[in-house]
Structure 1
Amino acid sequence: MPIIVNLDVMLAKRKMQLTELSGKIGITMSNLSILKTGKAKAIRFSTLEMICEILECQPADILEYVPEKESAK
């Protein structure tokens, strides 16, 4: 999949656990885990906004586009 989710990287940079983020934004651990592992098919802008607000980052810090040819390397 050409969209890479770097949520785990941002959590590490902010020294925050997934459980803490879950509690602050009101999203279940299982839904955040699906997003973190890159298995999510979609994300609501409102969810992305809350994550960015809590982690004090930009959407591009969490989502990255990597063309198929590069991701196959």
Structure 2
Amino acid sequence: MPPEEPHAIVVHLDRLLAERRMTLTELAARVDVTIANMSILKNGHAKAVRFTTLSRICEVLDCQPADVLSYQRPSPP
């Protein structure tokens, strides 16, 4: 298997959940995804996210996609 390609997308679910005093388990249930998949996304290990899932996250957290995800330019070597 080829090595996993790094990406520069940062996931801000920890901050959003803390601000809303919500657990990851509660978010997963309200978005209707497994806790395992929500954890993979929260920890930045997801390779993709469906727009429907991102839409539900934004609906539940009352936020915009840019509040959930951001692009962080990689540092030059």
Whether the TM-score (by the shorter chain) exceeds 0.5 is: yes
Q: What TM-score do you get using the length of structure 1 for normalisation?
A: 0.91
Superposition map of 1:1-73 within 5 A = 1-69=7-75
Where do 5+ consecutive residues of structure 2 fail to align? 1-6
* CA RMSD between the two structures: 1.4
Q: What is the CA-CA distance between 1:22 and the residue it aligns to?
A: 1.1
Structure 1 runs of 4+ aligned residues shifted over 2 Å read none
| Amino acid corresponding to residue 46 of structure 2 in structure 1 | A
Sequence identity of aligned pairs in percent?
Answer: 52
Report how far residue 13 of structure 1 moved. Answer: 0.8
The 1-side partners of 2:74 and 2:31 are apart by 32
Who wins on radius of gyration, i.e. which is larger?
Answer: 2
Give the number of equivalent residue pairs: 71
Q: What is the TM-score with the length of structure 2 in the denominator? A: 0.87
Displacement, 1:66?
Answer: 0.5
| Offset from partner CA, 1:5-54 (integer Å, 9 cap, x none) | 11111111111000111111110000000000000000000000000000
Structure having greater relative contact order (Cα 8 Å, sep ≥ 6): 1
Aligned to 2:4: none
